[in-house]
Amino acid sequence: MNATELKRQVAQAALAYVQPGQVLGVGTGSTVDLFIDALAASGVPLAGAVSSSERSTRRLQAAGIPVLEAGEVERLGVYVDGADEIDPRGHMIKGGGAALTREKIVADLADRFVCIADETKCVDVLGAFPLPVEVIPMAAAQLSRRFAAWGGQARLRAGCVTDNGQHILDVTGLRIHDPVAFETEVNQWPGVVTVGVFARHRARVALIATAEGVITRQHD
Ligand code: 5RP
């Protein structure tokens, strides 16, 4: 089965977490694109969606799903999003699509993060995927030196300006054994907008597509 077919399967499986009439949190990426398509095809009526990117907003609106501002809702029941890596406890690396800041904001509104991923995203220890970090441009050089002191090599993502008008550093060479401590520390560094470790906002449910079907993991 090819990668797109796996993504399509897991996107379809996520419909089980969507309640008619609810406002849904919606992530960003190629798996989420397929989830939005599945939502549209399902005909499940939603009160609306809070989107984590301009990309997802456009796709939701094209599907006829009303998009609400984050400020218009107090809580969301469910946030559905993909991941670049996910560990056995539901900690993730995200931001391959440069939407990590808004993704974390919408995830923070939600009672439950439902991660949709294929099995190639599953790792024991986070860090093989280059860690995206959204940064204020003037701090990029000094933040790169901080990562270097931890054994990481930071590279500015060429040509990338986020929906928030900021830049992305992609950091290779890290092994993130304690994702909560790592996220907490890097969040304090001046110039960091958002670090792409999602440990405080980890997946409570992970739907993992495999060649044998979709596996559901609960991370309580
Ligand atoms: C975007 C993300 C995505 O969830 C992540 O990059 C996975 O994307 P895809 O579904 O295309 O593999 O964090 O910022």
pLDDT one-digit tens code per residue, 84-121 = 999 999 999 999 999 999 999 999 999 999 999 999 99
Shared domain for 110 and 23, answered yes or no, is yes
pLDDT one-digit tens code per residue, 152-198 = 999 999 999 999 999 999 999 999 999 999 999 999 999 999 999 99
CB count within 10 Å of CB 176 equals 23
CA 59 to chain centroid: 17
At residue 220, the pLDDT reads 87
Shared domain for 165 and 138, answered yes or no, is yes
179 lines ligand 1 (CB under 6 A): no
Ligand 1, atom nearest to 196 Cα: 13
Compute the average pLDDT of residues 60-74: 97
Q: List the residue whose alpha carbon is closest to atom 2 of ligand 1.
A: 95
CA distance 35 to 44: 13
Helix, coil or strand: residue 73 = coil
pLDDT one-digit tens code per residue, 188-220 = 999 999 999 999 999 999 999 999 999 999 998
Share of the chain above pLDDT 90, in %: 99
State the CATH number of the domain containing residue 174.
Answer: 3.30.70.260
Shared domain for 87 and 155, answered yes or no, is no
Shared domain for 71 and 42, answered yes or no, is yes
Select which of 85, 103, 134, 183 is catalytic.
Answer: 103
CA distance 118 to 209: 4
Shared domain for 105 and 212, answered yes or no, is yes
CA distance 20 to 137: 42
Shared domain for 40 and 107, answered yes or no, is yes
Residues in the chain: 220
Shared domain for 42 and 69, answered yes or no, is yes
Domain that holds residue 156: 131-191
At residue 1, the pLDDT reads 77
Strand-pair partners of 85: 93
Q: List the residue whose alpha carbon is closest to atom 1 of ligand 1.
A: 97
Structure token digits, residue 166: 């900021």
Any idea which residue has 């009439």 for tokens? 21
Supply the mean pLDDT for the chain.
Answer: 97
74 is catalytic: no
Shared domain for 54 and 115, answered yes or no, is yes
DSSP 37-67: HHHHHHT---SEEEESSHHHHHHHHHTT--E
- As for how many domains the chain has, the answer is 2
Region for 109 from its dihedrals, namely left if φ exceeds 0, alpha if ψ lies in -120 to 50, beta otherwise: alpha
Shared domain for 82 and 16, answered yes or no, is yes
State the CATH number of the domain containing residue 73.
Answer: 3.40.50.1360
Shared domain for 16 and 85, answered yes or no, is yes
CA distance 22 to 183: 31
